[in-house]
Structures are given as structure tokens and as C-alpha cells.
Amino acid sequence: MSLELRGITKQFGSLVANDDINFKVEAGEIHAILGENGAGKSTLMNIVYGLLAPDKGQILVDGQEIKIKSPLDALAAGIGMVHQHFMLIPVFTVAENIVLGHEKTNRAGLLDLATAREEIIRVSKEFNFEVDPDALIEDLPVGIQQRVEIIRALIYNSKILILDEPTAVLTPQETDELLANMKKLRDSGRSIVFITHKLREVKAVADRISIIRRGKVVGTVQPSASQEEMASLMVGRPVDLTVNKADGKPGKTILEMVDLNVLDTTGRALASKINLTVSAGEVVAVAGVQGNGQSELAEAIVGLREHLTGSIKLSGNELIGRSVDECLKAGIAYVPESRELDGLISSFSITENLILDTHGEAPYSKGIFYKPAMAHQVALERIKEFDIRAQSANDPASSLSGGNKQKVVLARELSRPVELVVVCQPTRGLDVGSIEFVHQRLISERDSGRAVLLFSTELDEVFALADRIAIMYRGEIIAIVPATASREEVGLYMAGIRTATAKGGAA
Amino acid sequence: MIKKILDKTLLPLFAFLLALFVGGLVIGFTDNKVLAKISSPIEFLKILGSTVGNAYLALFQGAIYDPNLAEGKSFMAGFYPLSETMVATAPLILCGLSVALAFKSGLFNIGAQGQFIFGAVGASYIGFKYEMPMVMHIMVATLAGLILAALWGGIVGLLKAKTGAHEVIVTIMLNYIAAKFLLFLLSTQYFLRPGRLDPIAPSVKETAKLPSLFGVDYRVNIGIFIALAAAVFIWWLLNRSIIGFRFRAVGANSSAARTAGISVSAAMIATMAISGALAGMGGAIHTLGNQYELTDTVAATFGFDAITVALLGRGTPLGVVLASFLFAGLRVGGQTMQANVGVPVEIVLVIQALVVLFIAAPDLVKRIFKLRNLQEASAMASKGWNG
Amino acid sequence: MKNKTTMSRESKRKLNGIYSMAIASIFSIVVFAYLPKVSGDVTYSFVLDKEWVLIQQWVIDSRVGAYGFSALSVLFTALAYYLFRKGKKHGIAIFGFSIGFFMAFLCWASAGDFVPFTGLLQGGLILAVPLIYGSLAGLVCERSGVINIAIEGQLLGSAFVAGVVGSLLQNAWYGLLVAPFAGALISVLLAVFAIKYRIDQVILGFVINVLVIGLTSFAAQRFLREDSEKWNESPILQPINIPILYKLPIIGPMFFSQTIIIYLLYVIIIVTQIALFKSKWGLRMRSVGELPVAAESVGIDVNKVRFRNVIIAGAIAGFGGAYFTVGSVGAFSREMTAGMGFIALAALIFGRWTPLGALSAALVFGFADQLRSVLSIAGTPIPSAFMMMVPYIATIIAVSGFVGRVRAPAADGIPYQRGGSH
Ligand SMILES: Nc1ncnc2c1ncn2[C@@H]1O[C@H](COP(=O)(O)OP(=O)(O)O)[C@@H](O)[C@H]1O
Ligand SMILES: [Mg+2]
């Protein structure tokens, strides 16, 4: 079946997320939609799937216009979707999740899960998925959860499959498997809409590529088009994502972790046997697929984790056992993974956010007295220095765009007297302009002699910034390689494969 | 500036009017004299209007100024009801502040009732048991109540901080436990007034009674000033102290606060202890200023009214003061209304509930009054049991 | 990998439970049997039938009894551990332990006294009835993702309506019939404001309680007092004997010679327990209470499901409310539910949001209350005020995670808006 969108427009308040979008995917085709974060890809697909109502526009399946008011209509029209945030109930079994919304009941009015189980096993066999119908979703790794979503779409007999950033949570190996399965599905006659912002994947599987920028389709190209062409369409100007930097000049050791274990409350290790040092004037990147213990390790360094064994030393001083406040004051700048959740208080003013971790110090306070006027003055300076685009320092942080929010966090953290900068996923969800700003700033921090520890799941970012790369897999650092290592090698480590070529290995 | 004030007061004002209107309908449509006229619309509306009007007039006279009382005496004598309203306002302000402060730290303190009880217990015991000089006796008694209540409130913060137990559930349960505990205390030799079997403690000594402001004819005492001072203090705490900064940070986004090095546990425990102390102070001044003797019903419904007060006052100290005055007036005036025109005082509960309901659902009020630019209530975000 | 963790977490919780049982057993031996300086005879009386003629008595020395029953709880604790090690369910052992502990306590608490044993059980069951209805109402609501603090109001409102209608029509059955509608009506308020206006559900439930207390007290003052013969003298429902079963000794009169409200309760308990986990209705209810976007993404109208279930919950509470008037005393009195709605909420939480859990908790709370009145007549070492605290303390212990984590449905209390999340 083919799917065509005509003139789809959607506004959120004053923001035009989708602006007169025209798009078509033919039967038996993989059509990729490529766009920066916030370009409006998910919005568009949620409209097609009936989760959002468009302000304007038509949806046609096989040339016939259809009205999609809810996901039921989409499913009935043969449209299935694998969501960016999985739509699975964690406390349900696989089978329960799959029948939800399409329940069959027996004579007594009770659920009939038997048919669903058979179907799941049948589809699993066909695609080598190995999914247990009676496993609880919350017990399954994300890769398998994604398969459950695909199985669900196939059981509903979807002829048009939408995959919204399916590779974001996968290892390079899992990604390859997924791409292969996508081809298999296409060859069985299904149409696939493949959403991503990663150029490489697009080139690997897509038959055609549409590029969206700021809610508009700015071009449709063949996979033979060059990466540079696609990137400049995506961003709207020629981009060069390589960061200009000289080689690092590592100085004395700033951060030293020895046999560090990060445990959860039940005593299970979330990160184990961590041995890593970061020196002044170098960027060490911790790479790895999301969920391999990086976040926990970062949190451990700043005192956000309670159950630790081993040692974390900052310029020779032990950090384990200290509170977050003490760790920060010891000389660490911390940019957390989630700006919205951990980095900022969105209902607080920009000023208040800029002094969130220094509010107890002069000049913002004296004794227990808080001095808002002083805070305001300093905030104005920071806003100027970091080029934060805001109407007023008294506006709530929620009024800022993603890039400016991140600048607020950076301004706050980097303005303190610190030796070590710990940054986690610093450019996640940012536009290219902001990404460039953040990257430049991190390099200049390095060049000014600070030690930088970067946690990133984006290989591009890792290679752009790092002087050394540590790869985490299942809570362990399985290799430390120089920045000159090949992408393939790092990719293999990320999948947990320890190659023989690995030298300079896990010291 | 004026627009800002208007924005802030318009919603509560409209909510209150709407609640009075609905309350009026309830009064009117349950009145036999009114219902008797239901067949002739004009007559019906007339008598409906006069019945409801008389009820609310009686309520006003019972709460603020009653010319009948002034007759033959000075003009000022007519303000006796107002003095009674002030008497009820003082503990309510303190309890309202208790709930409001917790709101700011992201905690929903339903436990003011229990904290009030402990405040009353502490103040009463010191008040009747010991001999002390005047000012000191009051201070020690109040402090005793305050400390007990702070501990009682602190338990909630401690449980929340250490185990994640939801404060709403814990405070609901602690209220009942406090009430039963009071009943138990009043059955022991330590508290039970000699020669009595019903739950009542001895009266506090003269030295522990709060001095009244306008002589023996009026009950209103310095308690109201204590309450107002507490409101000023809470304003300062929240807006001009680093402790308040932390409270607000934890309330607005505890995870970001923690990441910025603010101790969430400490903030929660401190908040609940201060909240408890405030409600306990309410219990203390109610005992030392108004009741003098501890009974099992000493807390009346102060702790619960406090929640409506905090919601109506939008969690700000000034709002709490105004809302307390309003609800205290309704309560006090309601008694007069019941005595004079026979409308049961419970209608006040209905009005109170409706005001809060309308405040919490600004969309509804906006729709009814066709208001456009009304400032959104900083609606308490629903966090759920796991939040 | 993750699978193993959740498994071990679960077994850790169970193990903690068994440790608590062991500690309680030791406590029982020391405090109930060893420490008391004097012992006395405890007289248990059993009424075998409704007729008081068939009374059996059993007399035992309190110390001997306490030792004996403590030994029983030790035994069952050991059994629990054995079954746990074998990887089998040990619910029966917990049950046995509880009986042993409870009987040991009773021996100690009523040394030298007379314990009307059947009366205790029967009274406990009766006291539990409104609690069970209330907690099931809470369950259906909260499993759908709407916090229900308004159980108290639902019980009170429907008690009022049932009583008044029963009195006006002089027929208790009409009272029973309208009660669920009254409960549902209060639920409409909850549903509209929680789902449509998305206001904080804790505040909302609280306000609804105040509103219902205000309205019923106002009406009681205005009508019921003045002309109580007309408005407030409802006949009550009479017990119905279930053929054959009601003749069974002890259980017969207890379970099968009751009013329709209690038989209805049996049905509702069984239906909710099965339906919650095994029916389409239950699956959808849990889905909107756990992750509403996911439910929406498979075409379920989240707010419709929630709305409907909140109304159903109100109707269930309505039967519980009817119990207060037409089911027991007939007349309505102000605030007659006296906080039962909150104990029902406690039972729901203590029972971990499951029907059988809530049922057990409600029964325990009911028995505790009955025990209090029995013991306060007998005169005991424990002040009755402390016995009254049992449900509240138990709930605090439960939510504090001392007996393992209790987890509310993930989306409980969070309003859902289409296309609003992400
Ligand atoms: N429900 C919503 N309300 C308001 N703004 C939204 C909503 N959903 C998405 N947006 C905004 O719309 C823009 C497009 O978002 P999205 O479609 O998720 O982008 P993409 O998937 O391409 O990264 C973003 O700026 C985002 O912040
Ligand atoms: Mg997206």
C-alpha cells in the first residue's frame, strides 16, 4: 500500500511544528525522513498514526483519502507504528500488550491470550526474534521491547510501517539487524517510513529520502546523494561538524577512579571495576550505548549515588562519602544528561537557575539572608557572556529554547572555579547552531587547562571532541582507545566485543 | 501594577461569588417558605431573594458588624462579631501557613490537624501544670507545643525523605493517630481534670493566658498579632532566605535541586518540622488564648479548614491571612445565621468547598464569567501517589 | 539480567516478611507468655448457631495458651521458610502464623476474662463490610489512574440518600437501589473535575468530602431533625438465610444468614478480583492506570475508560454507604461514616491495590476494631485508643516500605491529555 500526505500543518501555540508537508511512500519502499531534533518528524508521524490531530491537510492510503481520528483508524487503514518512546505497559506481559485494544474474549467473558501467544511465536520465528509471550515488558532489554512493538504491528497486519528513530536505543550490531529486517519487510511488500537524524543509516537502507527542516519538507533525494548535501539540507547551511581543535596537552591528573563500583539498593553493580583517569587539558569521552552504566558513573562522580566502593579522587582528595554539594564545591562542574529534569528548574527565573548551586555563597547571600538584587546583577553578566537569548533575566527558564536552556546550565557550571568538567549528553536534542556552540566551549575549557569528562552516546560527538575514548559495556569500561581509533573498532567495543586489535587497552 | 493585583485577586473573587451564589441556591431551595411559592415565578423569586439575602445578612452581622449590638451603646460595640472573627482567624492563619509552606516545598500537608493537637497538648500541659511568671509562662507553654508539633510534623518529612512514603497518606493517618492519642492522654491521670470523667484537662493558669487586646468584654487577644508576625516571617523565609530558596527549589523540581547540591531530605524534614511548628503554634495560641482547657475536640476543624485556606490563599502568606479572615468570618457568622434565621451553619462548609473547587478549576470560572486574560492559577500540579 | 534482579527483589521482600514473622513470634513468646506475672483463665465461648442455646465454652490458662499459640506461630514461620526455600507459595503459612499470633495475643489480653469468640469474628466481618466496599471503590478508581480520596464522601452521601429514600418510601430495598446512583453521582463530580478540568486529585477528593459532609449535615439539620418520622426512619434490610449453608455451625450464621448487602459484596469481590486480571475491562483499566499513552496508541479512549470506571467505583461505594443506614441502623446521622472512608483507603494501600489484598486488610482492620470493643468491655492491658490506631499505623508501615515496597499504579493521579505528553 502507498501512503500520501498532502499539506499537513500542525501548530503548538505559536510554534509551527509541521508546515504544509507533502510526502509519499510507495508500496515496497523504504522512505526515510531525515531531520534535526525538533524538526517535526515525530509530530508528523503522530498525526499519521492518529495520536495528534492536524490543523490542516489530508492523508491518503492507496490514493483514497481517509480520516484518521484515533490510532484505531490508523490501524484499520493498515498503518502501524514503532514509537520513539515505546508504547508498552511495563507491568503487562508481551501477550497482554499485544492484545490490548484488540482483545478477544472467550465465552465466560475472560481474555483469550492463547491465540495471541501463537501469533507472537509465529512472527518471532519468521524474523528470528525470540520473544517470550509471557515475559513481563519491564524485564526485557530495550532491544527486545522494540521487537515486541514490531511484532505487534505485524500481527495487526500493518502494510505501512512507521519507525520513529528506532536506532537511537540500539547497539551498532542491533542496528544492523534492524536494518536487515527492514529490508526483509520491504521485500515482503510493505511500505516503511523510517525516521532518523543519522545520515549513515539512511544511506544504508533508504530507497528515497525526504528532509525536513523546521517543519517544512526542504527536499527529497536519492540515497546516492552525498552526506554533505543531506546535512546542509537538514541544517539549512553548509555544515562542518568537525570541531577545530589542536591536540590536547594533558597536564597533571585531575580525576582518578580506582576500582570503582556503583551499586543499586539491592547491591547489584550498575557500573563495576571502573579505572579511569582524566588529566588537566584533555577531553576523555565515555562512549557506549545508552543504559550501559554511563549515567550512573557520572552521577557517582558528583555524589548523586549512594552505594559506592573503590575510590574517586579529585586532585588527590577522596570524593566518595561526600555530599553532592561538597563534590561540586571540591571543583567539579556538572552538566546533567537531562536539562529539563535535572539541569534546570523550569518554573524558576533564569537568574535563580544561574545561581542554583551557588545560592548559598557570596555575593548572593550573607548568613541565611538571600540577596536577589546581587543575583540579578551577576545573572545579567552571565547572560551576556554566554549569549543567552532571553527577554529578561526574570523570565522563567521554561520560556527558553533548548539551546538557551543548555547555555544557562553551562553558564552556571563553567563560571564556578572548577578543575573538572563532567558533561553528559550535552547536545542531545539541540539544533546544529547550539551544538557548535557547546562543542567550541568544551574545547576552550580544555584548552584553558580544565579536565573534561564527556559522556556521550553519539559517536560523531565522541570523535569530534575526545582526546581519549573509554567505551562502556554492561557497566564496565571494556576498552580505552586513543581518538585515532577507527569507528568500527569503537562500534565493536560498544557491542561488547573485545577485539584482538585493541591495543592501549583497558589499563 | 494594578493589573497585576487584579489578575491575582480576580479569580479568588469570582470563585467566592460563584460559591456564594450556589450556596444561596441551596439555602433557598431547601426552604419551605420558598418552595411553597414555586408555582408563581415572580413571588418565588422575591421570596427566594429575601430568604437568601436575610441569611447572608445575618451571616455578615454575625461575622463583622451587628448594629443591634451597638444600639444603646457605642457605635464600636457593634463590632463585637468582628472581634470574634479575629479570635477564630488567628489559629487559622497559623494552620494555613503550615499547609502553604509545605505546598511551596512540594509537599501536601494534610496533617495540620494532628500537628495542631500536639501544639495544644504541649501548651496546655505547661499551662496548667507549672507555675511561672506571666510572659515566661506563655513563652514556655507555646514553645512546648511548638516543639511537640514540630517533631510530629518532622516524622512526616523523615518518612518521606528516607522511605518515600507519600506525605498525603502519612498525614491522613497521623491525624487519626493524633486524635486517638489525645483521647488517650485525656484519660490518664496526667491530663484528666480531677473529679471529671469526660475528656477535659484542667484550665491553664492565669499567667499562661494570652493577654486580651480590648479588655475583658472581648476575647480577641495578642494571638492575632502572633499569627500575623508568623505570616511575615514565612514571607521572609520563602523569599529572602537561602533556606526558603532551597525549599522552593525542592518544591519546584526536587531532582534538579538535588543535582545542584541541595539536600532534598534535609529540606523535606525541615519543611515538615516548620510546618508542624506553625500548626502547633496555632494549637498553642488557641489553647492559651481562646479555650484555656484541653478537650478531645480542641482542634475542631482548624487543620482541615487550613487546607482550604492555603488553597484559596494560593499558598502565599498574604493570601493565607486574607483567606483565613474570610473563612473564620463565615464560620463565626454562620453561627449567628443559624440562630437568627434558622439556616444551618453547615452551609458554610458547602461554600468553603465550592470556593476551593472553583479556584482549583480556573477553566470553569473563566468559562462562566467569560474571562479571557485571567492569570492561570499556578495550579498545583498533580503528581500522583508515586511522585 | 534485569529479570534476575526483579526476581531477587521480590524474594528479598518475601524473606523480609519471614524475618518479621520470626521476630513477631519471639515477641509473642516473651511478651504474651513469659513476661506476665500472673496468669488467669481465659474463657472462649463459641456460638454454634444463631440461637444462643448452642454455646460451647473452652477454658484455658492464659500463660499456657500464650505459649501454645506462640509455638504455633513459630511452627508456621518455620513452614513459611521451608516453603520459601522450596520455591513454593507460603500464603497458608502466613495465615497460620497470623492465627497463632493473634490467639496468643488474645490469651494475654483477656487473661481472667470471657471472650465471645464467634461474636468477635462476626462483629469484625460486619465492621469490615463498608471498608471492603470502600476499598474496592478506591481500587477501581485508582487502577484506572484517578486517585480517590473521596471514598468517605461517597460512603456518606449514599448513606444519606439510601436512608432518606428508604424512609420516605418506607422500604429499605428502594434505599439500597438508589444508593449506587448516589455514589455514582458523587463520582461524576470527581470524574468531571479530575478528568476534564484536570485538577489535583488529592485536593479534589478532599474538597468533595467537605462538600458532602456540608450538604448532608445541612440537610440533616434542616429536614431530618425537624420531621424525622417522615425523613429519617427507614426500615432496615432483613437477613436472608441461604438454604442449607446457613445451618453450618459457626460459619453458617456468620456468612450465610446476612443481608443482601453482604451477599452482593461476595459477588463484587469475586468479580473484581477475576475481572481485574483476566478480563478485557480489567486489562484496559490497568493500562490507562499504568501508561495511558500506550493505551491511547492502540486506540483506547483513555479518558472515556477512566470516566466510566470512576462512575462504577462510585456505585460500588454506594452499596457500602447503604450499609450504614438501610443495612444496619436505618436512621442517618451527621458524619456517620466517621472516617471509615479513610480506613478503606488505608486498606486499599495496605492491600497493594489488589482486591484480595484490600479484602484481607479490610478484614484485619474490621477485626481490630471489633477486638477493641470486646477488650474494652473486658478491660485490658492495652488502652482502647491504641487499638483504634491499628489501621493507621499499619498503613504508615506499609507505605514506608517496611514490609516491602507498595507501588501505586504508575499513572495514578496524573491527568491525561491527548497529544499532551512527550
Ligand atoms: N505536545 C506538544 N506541545 C508543544 N510543543 C510540542 C509538542 N510536541 C512537540 N512539540 C514541539 O514541536 C517541535 C517538533 O517536535 P518533534 O516532532 O518531536 O521533533 P522531532 O521528532 O523531529 O525531533 C519541537 O520544537 C517540539 O518542542
Ligand atoms: Mg522525534
Tens of pLDDT along chain A (507 residues) come to 899 999 999 999 888 999 999 999 999 999 999 998 889 999 999 999 999 999 999 999 999 999 999 999 999 999 999 998 899 999 999 999 999 999 998 888 899 999 999 999 999 998 888 899 999 998 888 889 999 999 999 999 999 999 999 987 777 778 888 999 999 999 999 999 999 888 888 999 999 999 999 899 999 999 999 888 888 898 888 776 677 888 888 999 999 999 999 998 778 899 999 999 999 999 999 999 888 899 999 999 999 999 999 999 999 999 999 999 999 999 999 999 999 899 999 999 999 999 999 999 988 999 999 999 999 999 999 999 999 999 999 999 999 988 999 999 999 999 999 999 999 999 988 888 889 999 999 999 999 999 999 999 888 899 999 999 999 998 999 999 999 999 888 988 988 887 655 444 443
CA distances to A351, B203, C275, C411 from C283, in Å: 47, 60, 8, 15
Query: Residue C325 has what pLDDT?
Result: 96
CA atoms within 13 A on the CB side of B298: 38
Distance CA C6, CA C16 (A): 15
On the question of pLDDT at C226 being above 60, the answer is yes
Q: Does C174 touch chain B (CB under 8 A)?
A: no
Q: Which CATH architecture has domain A253-331+417-494?
A: 3-Layer(aba) Sandwich (3.40)
Contact list, C3 vs chain A (CB under 8 Å)? 135, 139
> How close is the nearest chain B Cα to the Cα of A401, in Å?
18
Distance CA A281, CA C315 (A): 69
Beta bridge partners of A472: A477
Rounded (10°) CA dihedral B371, B374, B380, B382: 50
Question: Is residue B226 within 8 Å of B89, Cβ to Cβ?
Answer: no
- Angle at alpha carbon of residue B358, lines to B356 and B361, rounded to 5°: 110
Q: What is the DSSP letter of B292?
A: -
Distance CA C217, CA C214 (A): 5
Contact list, A328 vs chain B (CB under 8 Å)? 260-261
Q: Which of A339-343, B145-149, C123-127 has the highest mean pLDDT?
A: B145-149
List for chain A the helix, strand, coil content (%; round to 5). 35, 25, 40
E strands, C296-378, in order:
none
On the question of pLDDT at B42 being above 50, the answer is yes
Could you count the other beta carbons within 10 Å of the beta carbon of residue A178?
Answer: 21
Query: Residue C253 has what pLDDT?
Result: 79
On the question of pLDDT at B384 being above 90, the answer is no
Residue located via cell numbers 484480595: C356
Query: Residue B309 has what pLDDT?
Result: 94
pLDDT band for C2, please (50, 70, 90 cuts): very low
On the question of pLDDT at C95 being above 50, the answer is yes
Residue A11: left if φ>0, alpha if ψ -120 to 50, beta else—which one?
Answer: beta
User: With b meaning 16 or more CB within 10 Å and e meaning fewer, what string describes A25-63?
Assistant: beebbbbbbbbbbbbbbbbbbbbbbbbbebeebebebee
Inter-chain CB proximity A365 and B242 less than 8 Å? yes
pLDDT in tens, A12-33: 988 899 999 999 999 999 999 9
Q: Is residue B372 part of a domain?
A: no
pLDDT in tens, C138-158: 999 999 999 999 999 999 999
Query: Residue C419 has what pLDDT?
Result: 67
How large a percentage of chain C has pLDDT more than 90?
54
On the question of pLDDT at B375 being above 90, the answer is no
Higher pLDDT, C4 or C206: C206
Query: Residue C9 has what pLDDT?
Result: 60
**Ligand 1 contact via A196 beta carbon (within 6 Å):** no
Query: Residue B1 has what pLDDT?
Result: 63
Which of B298, B296, B295 shows the shortest CA–CA distance to B285?
Answer: B298
Crossing angle between the packed helical segments C355-378 and C91-109, to the nearest 10 degrees: 10
**Ligand 1 contact via A215 beta carbon (within 6 Å):** no
> How close is the nearest chain A Cα to the Cα of B141, in Å?
28
Grid coordinates standing for C130?
463498608
Residue ranges in A415-480 assigned as alpha helix (H):
432-447, 459-465
Inter-chain CB proximity A101 and C301 less than 8 Å? no
CA distances to A98, A253, A313 from A262, in Å: 36, 22, 15
pLDDT in tens, B282-341: 999 999 999 999 999 999 999 999 999 998 998 899 999 999 999 999 999 999 999 999
CA distances to A496, B45, B75 from B34, in Å: 83, 9, 35
Query: Residue A469 has what pLDDT?
Result: 97
pLDDT band for C3, please (50, 70, 90 cuts): very low
**Ligand 1 contact via A311 beta carbon (within 6 Å):** no
On the question of pLDDT at C6 being above 50, the answer is no
Query: Residue B35 has what pLDDT?
Result: 86
Q: How far is the CA of A38 from the centre of ligand 2 (A)?
A: 7
Q: What is the DSSP letter of C245?
A: G
On the question of pLDDT at B8 being above 80, the answer is no
Query: Residue A241 has what pLDDT?
Result: 63
Bridge-based pairing state of the strands A283-287 and A79-82: unpaired
Q: Which residue, by CA, sits nearest to atom 3 of ligand 1?
A: A12
User: Nearest bound ligand to CA C293?
Assistant: 1
Which of B277, B137, B286, B302 shows the shortest CA–CA distance to B221?
Answer: B286
Distance CA B273, CA A317 (A): 35
Bridge-based pairing state of the strands C41-47 and C114-116: parallel
**Ligand 1 contact via A403 beta carbon (within 6 Å):** no
- Locate the ligand 1 atom nearest the alpha carbon of residue A45 and give its number: 17
Inter-chain CB proximity B173 and C392 less than 8 Å? yes
pLDDT band for C309, please (50, 70, 90 cuts): very high
Distance CA C2, CA B324 (A): 53
Contacts 24+ apart (CB under 8 A), C259-267: C259/C327, C260/C176, C261/C129, C261/C176, C261/C237, C261/C319, C261/C322, C261/C323, C261/C327, C262/C129, C264/C319, C265/C129, C265/C132, C265/C133, C265/C319
Question: Is residue A319 within 8 Å of B242, Cβ to Cβ?
Answer: no
Q: Does A357 touch chain B (CB under 8 A)?
A: yes
The residue of B20, B173, B187, B365 whose CB has the most chain C CBs within 10 angstroms, and thus the best one to mutate to test that interface, is: B173
Question: Is residue B289 within 8 Å of B102, Cβ to Cβ?
Answer: no
Which of C218, C196, C204, C195 shows the shortest CA–CA distance to C150?
Answer: C204
pLDDT band for C403, please (50, 70, 90 cuts): low
pLDDT band for C52, please (50, 70, 90 cuts): low
Q: How far is the CA of A37 from the centre of ligand 1 (A)?
A: 9
The stretch B181-203 carries a mean pLDDT of 92
Grid coordinates standing for B151?
517533631
Q: What is the mean pLDDT of chain C?
A: 88
Helix (H) or strand (E) holding A470: strand A468-473
Rounded (10°) CA dihedral B210, B216, B218, B219: 30
Query: Residue A504 has what pLDDT?
Result: 44
Q: Is residue B371 part of a domain?
A: no
All domains in chain C, ordered by first residue: 2-112 (no CATH), 120-400 (1.10.3470)
> How close is the nearest chain B Cα to the Cα of C175, in Å?
21
Cα end-to-end distance, chain C, whole Å: 29
Question: Is residue B272 within 8 Å of B167, Cβ to Cβ?
Answer: yes
Helix (H) or strand (E) holding C172: helix C172-191
Domain count, chain B: 1
CATH 3.40.50.300 domain position(s) in chain A: 3-235, 253-331+417-494
Cα end-to-end distance, chain A, whole Å: 55
User: Nearest bound ligand to CA A402?
Assistant: 1
Which of the other chains make 3 or more beta carbon contacts under 8 angstroms with chain B?
A: A, C
Which of B303, B298, B274 shows the shortest CA–CA distance to B123?
Answer: B298
Q: Is residue B69 part of a domain?
A: no
On the question of pLDDT at B124 being above 90, the answer is yes
Domain that holds residue B212: 89-319
Query: Residue B368 has what pLDDT?
Result: 83
Q: Could you give the 3-state DSSP secondary structure of residue A208? A: strand
On the question of pLDDT at C399 being above 90, the answer is no
Query: Residue B18 has what pLDDT?
Result: 93
Beta bridge partners of A65: A60
ipTM: 0.91
Residue ranges in C351-402 assigned as alpha helix (H):
355-378, 384-388, 390-399
Residue located via cell numbers 510530629: B152
CA distances to A55, A235, C420 from A214, in Å: 17, 9, 20
Which of B201, B203, B163, B159 shows the shortest CA–CA distance to B177?
Answer: B159
Q: Which residue, by CA, sits nearest to atom 24 of ligand 1?
A: A38
Regarding the domain delimited by A3-235, which CATH topology (the fold level of the hierarchy) does it fall under? Rossmann fold (3.40.50)
Q: Is residue B217 part of a domain?
A: yes
Q: Is residue B66 part of a domain?
A: no
Question: Is residue B282 within 8 Å of B116, Cβ to Cβ?
Answer: yes
Query: Residue B113 has what pLDDT?
Result: 97
Query: Residue C398 has what pLDDT?
Result: 79
Q: Does A366 touch chain B (CB under 8 A)?
A: no
Query: Residue A199 has what pLDDT?
Result: 84
Which of the other chains make 3 or more beta carbon contacts under 8 angstroms with chain C?
A: A, B
Could you count the other beta carbons within 10 Å of the beta carbon of residue C179?
Answer: 33
Phi and psi, residue A386, nearest 5°: -95, 10
User: What's the one-letter identity of residue C367?
Assistant: F
Residue A214: left if φ>0, alpha if ψ -120 to 50, beta else—which one?
Answer: left
Grid coordinates standing for A485?
581509533
Bridge-based pairing state of the strands A420-424 and A451-455: parallel
